[in-house]
Amino acid sequence: MKIKRKKGSVLVFTLIIVLTILVISLGAVTISTTELRSSSSTDKATMAFQIADTGMESILEKIKSSNYLDDTILEVFSDCVDGKILEIIDANKQYEIEFFKYDDSPLECNDRVGDIGKAKSSGSYLSVERAVSSSVCVSGWEKIGANDGNWDGIATSNDGKKLAAVIRGGQIYTSIDGGEIWTDRESDRNWDVIASSGNGNTLLAADQGGMLYLSIDSGINWDAQSDCGNHIWTSVAVSDDGTHLGAVYRPGNIWISNDSGNNWNEETVEGGVAQGWLGIAFSADGEKVVAVNDNVSGGEIYISSDGGDSWSRKNSGLGSLPAVAVSDDGNKIAVGRYGGQVYRSIDGGDNWLAVSNSGSGNLSSVAMSSDGTKVVVAKGTVPPAGALEGYVYISNEGGDIGTWKMHDPAEDARDWSHDSLAISEDGKQIFAATYDVTDGIWKYHGCK
């Protein structure tokens, strides 16, 4: 039996197939169009993000170049208006910057650069806007609230909050808020140097030509250490827990106490010959002690690994050495020389290398972070009186050659004294006391 197909049925079937293909085709076209639109929008958003990121990088670099925290935002960004910075790149691209404190409150153009804690950059491309935000660490110097005077020495607790500083011919001053408010302590004396324990409770200060004075209550009360006598004291040191105390004078010997000042012992080296001691420093536990001098035969470095009971000469003929700093573990040691050189050891004093390329001049003070990564030196008048050099140098890489950056805290050459530097445990806060009467004490906020 033959089956006959009707032409109408074939036509209907054909139309159904064609319509189905058309619907599928239209669907494909619709999907393709949607994908194109999505890609175009994404490209614009990506470009807006890139513009915002460019703006953020630009302002962060400019903030970094500002060395003084007291500069206003307007002084750094002359185009600041109503607390915002607008940069029009072209007709289709622009970004706008806003600054905030750490608590997210907005800053105005006349606010300090040092108050910036966060920044927001809004980028715009063909009317598509995207924003990026970033926390901001502003590094730089600011003068803190100390009185005018011939500041001769400064010390800090590990966290940088408790400070103690001395004025030659004046008093001892202490602060518990990082240097904003200072309180005068003790009497007018010929104060020369001061040192602090890690928590800031134990302080040891020296009256040049007089006695040592000890405080165990952050400087409120002071006791004369009469057993040590009257000397031309040049340097003092305190271990992290305040148990170990040290002091040197010239010409003379080394005084050590290993029981928080209850008993003192006068230590000698090289058969008891008096030395021209200029500096002394402890490791955190007080077991490693480093002392430096300016003997006629050339500066010498002496090290004790038993809290000062016995001493070994580790280097000599280096020239007059007025300053020394030691890392917490006692392995890293930095020594400053009058001629401007810095010598460093990373093996506890067995081997030494000249590392500073900070130029010639009288290097007067050295400070080091607890891990020895950050090293700070200052140049200025030190005993015997030398030329005014006026600058502070910072290395964030342990003092390696080529890593030193010159800083000018007071915006001009200044007289940094023999004990003019102090540094917080993490190295992010540096305190520099100038001997120039009107320039006071400066504080550096670092980001690393």
Task: State the pTM of this model.
Answer: 0.81
What pLDDT digit, counting tens, does each position of 234-284 carry? 999 999 999 999 999 999 999 999 999 999 999 999 777 788 999 999 999
| Residue 437 neighbours by CB distance under 10 Å | 12
Q: What DSSP line would sit under 57-79, residue for residue?
A: HHHHHHHHH--BTTSBHHHH-TT
> Which of 146, 282, 261 is closest to 201 using CA atoms?
261
Which residue do the tokens 């409120």 mark?
Answer: 220
**Contact in structure between 313 and 295 (CB atoms under 8 Å):** no
| Residue 18 neighbours by CB distance under 10 Å | 10
**Contact in structure between 197 and 241 (CB atoms under 8 Å):** yes
H or E element in which residue 329 lies:
none
Q: What is the pLDDT of residue 281?
A: 98
Look up residue 421 and give its two tokens: 């530097």
For residue 376, what are the β-bridge partners? 367, 394
In the chain the domains, ranked by start, together with CATH numbers, are 47-135 (no CATH), 142-445 (2.130.10.10)
Q: Which residues of the chain have pLDDT under 70?
A: 1-40, 296-297, 357-361, 380-389, 410-413, 448
Q: In what order do the strands lie in the sheet with 212-215?
A: 140-143, 441-445, 429-434, 416-423, 151-156, 163-175, 183-196, 203-207, 212-215, 223-225
Look up residue 385 and give its two tokens: 């009186």
What pLDDT digit, counting tens, does each position of 29-46 carry? 222 223 333 456 789 999
HEC-encoded secondary structure of 234-293:
EEEEECCCCCCEEEEECCECEEEECCCCCCCEEECCHHHCCECEEEEEECCCCCCEEEEE
φ, ψ for residue 418, nearest 5 deg:
-60, -30
| Residue 49 neighbours by CB distance under 10 Å | 18
Nearest-Å Rg of the Cα atoms of the chain is 33
For residue 375, what are the β-bridge partners? 368, 395
**Contact in structure between 293 and 275 (CB atoms under 8 Å):** yes
Amino acid making up residue 391: Y
Burial of 441 (0-12, 13-18, 19+ CB in 10 A): buried
Q: Is 314 helix (H, G, I), strand (E, B) or coil?
A: strand
Q: List, in order, residues 6 or more apart from 58 with CB less than 8 Å away.
A: 87
φ, ψ for residue 299, nearest 5 deg:
-55, 145
Q: What is the pLDDT of residue 17?
A: 37
Q: Strand 289-293 vs strand 301-304: parallel, antiparallel, or unpaired?
A: antiparallel
Half-sphere exposure of 323 (CA within 13 A, CB side): 35
Count Cβ neighbours within 10 Å for each residue of 393-413 and write b for 16 or more, e otherwise: bbbbebbeeebbeebebbeee
* Angstrom distance (rounded) from CA 375 to CA 377: 7
271 Rama sector, left if φ>0, alpha if ψ -120 to 50, beta otherwise? left
